[in-house]
Structure 1
Amino acid sequence: MATVWAAGAIAALLGLAGLLLLFGSAILTRHRAVNAADLAALAAAGQADLGVATACGRAQTVAEEMTVRLVGCRLDGWDALVEVEAAAPGGLGSASAHARAGPVARAGTAPAPAPR
């Protein structure tokens, strides 16, 4: 009888360990997506003066280096808006993230005109 209880306890512990592993994987994938979106938006904002194509090309390069997929990229004035998607290990889903980066206007100054 004790063997049956021990086998049941081991199965329950293994099931719990599997669930914790999946949960940890989801958290890491989400963090990877958020970090990649932030870096891609900063890279695009740094190239905003060169136009959308150059800025979003830089964001694409950063996204590829971070092993995520660039879903969207656009400029809103000097601000870069980026969306990425990161695949979870083992094909168990994906996580997406949005980020915005651009200059901060100083108090008492007008914002700079948008690039063309």
Structure 2
Amino acid sequence: MAGAVAATGVVALTAALSVALVTAGSAHVVSQRVAAAADSAALAAADAASGAATGLPCERASQIGQALGVEISQCQLDELVATVTVVTTFAGLPAEASARAGPPR
């Protein structure tokens, strides 16, 4: 009987640890996805600002963000340099990333 209780405890502990590790891994994947979306949106905005792509810079960033499943929370232009902040949610919590793109100074 004591062995069954110990085995049940080990299985429960292993299951809890597995859930925690999967959640942490998923959070890392989401953070990388949000960072990549911010980079892509900033590049699109900078390209539009420089004339390398058509459209308005922040509208281009918004289109890219929408295609990547994030929302643009901020888009700023300083001459040809675009700074974009994107946000999404993971497990009910906000995940946010910012990126800047433009010509070298």
CA distance in 1, matches of 2:101, 2:50: 13
Structure-2 residue corresponding to 1:114: none
| Equivalenced residues, count | 101
The runs of 4+ residues in structure 1 deviating greater than 2 Å are none
CA–CA distance in 1 between the matches of 2:71 and 2:11?
39
Distance 2:98 2:79 in 1: 17
2:66 is the counterpart of 1:64: yes
In structure 2, distance between residues paired with 1:33 and 1:24:
14
Distance 1:36 1:87 in 2: 14
> In 2, are the aligned partners of 1:84 and 1:96 still within 8 Å (CA)?
yes
CA RMSD of aligned residues (A): 1.4
Q: CA deviation at 1:92?
A: 3.5
Distance in 1, Cα, partners of 2:36 & 2:80:
21
Query: Which stretches in structure 2 are left out of the alignment for 5+ residues?
Result: none
Matched residue of 1:7: which SS? helix
Task: Find the counterpart in structure 1 of residue 93 from structure 2.
Answer: 93
Matched residues in 2 for 1:92 and 1:22: separation? 13
Alignment of structure 1 residues 48-59 onto 2, 5 Å = 48-49=49-50, 54-59=56-61
* TM-score normalised by structure 1 residue count: 0.82
Name the residue aligned to 2:10.
9
